[in-house]
Amino acid sequence: MPHPKIIVLGSVNTDLVISSPQLPGTGETVIGGRFYKASGGKGANQAVSAARTSGLPVGFIAAVGNDDFGKGAIRELRKENIATQHIRMVHDHATGVALIMVDERGENQISVASGANSALSPDDVARIDDDFFSEASVFVACLESPIETVIAGLKRAKAAGLTTILNPAPANEEACDREVLQLVDVLTPNESEATLLSGWDEIKDLEDACIWCEQLQQRGSGRIIITRGDKGCILKDDSSDVCLTPAFAVDAVDATGAGDCFNGALATGLAEGKILLEATRFAMAAAALSVTQQGAIPSLPTRNEVEEFLASDPLRSQLAL
């Protein structure tokens, strides 16, 4: 397998999902759901999204337990054209597990037991050969791995000249530290993550978003994309301009993994030399397709599916440019 152009550092989980008419409230039991199991984890989702939308191998730095879930995850990732030589099998941790509940509107609640993901260390990053980084062009990380490991990955990627994407999910205040932000070329929080990271009660409008983005850029961050589900994206580039990009209209079934789909497809767009707006629209189309199917990895679209979706409506094609 040739050295990948996209590298993802992140988590591997087994998703245990119940799809039911409504999400339970505190102390409430909801009967009548449907159960299924799927591979997941933000890192795995992003890696598979990048592989499917690029059609090329994707490098993956991760950790799993020495158990059936971990062994099964590696088998499934190999089928998806993921380079798995840098997935470490940990003997004293179980593979990460996510318990997911999804309602009939596609809204979800997720609880994660990190397991082996918490054991991925800076030493694991340091052991990787230089060529693995130097022959790539884009590096993606999220925050389901220890922050010190994420920083180690970002440093190696920046030193090798890669474009770095940080998806600050789940939100962690340490992601706003100057040391971290100076390593980030593209920051991709969703609305709730942006609010938590800002320390504000609410980011109410475009003006608030612009102020928040400028504050982060003053601390070293590069370009920023705030993903907002069916409200589209707010994009802040290196200039003072803020761009509001509308969402694609689809019938949502399950939003699980949509943000990960976006980040993987964004990496594909940037690796192919697309400008940020064009790469963002490509990623938004992929994410829109993903919410029309159930599950995380099972819902991630291929390159052909994204291109057909964009080509099926002249307006979509115009917005993608």
Give catalytic residues, as residue numbers: 260
Q: How far apart (Å, rounded) are the C-alpha atoms in residues 187 and 167?
A: 6
Q: Radius of gyration (Cα) for the chain, nearest Å? A: 18
* DSSP 8-state class, residue 33: -
CB 61, CB 7: distance < 8 Å: yes
Question: Rounded to a whole number, what is the distance in angstroms from the first to the last CA of the chain?
Answer: 32
Report the residue count for the chain.
321
CB 128, CB 71: distance < 8 Å: no
As to burial, measured by CB atoms within 10 angstroms (0-12 exposed, 13-18 middle, 19+ buried), residue 30 is middle
What kind and span of H or E run contains 87? strand 87-90
Residue pointed to by tokens 């990460």 = 96
Residue pointed to by tokens 């940037």 = 270
Tokens standing for residue 158: 């920046």
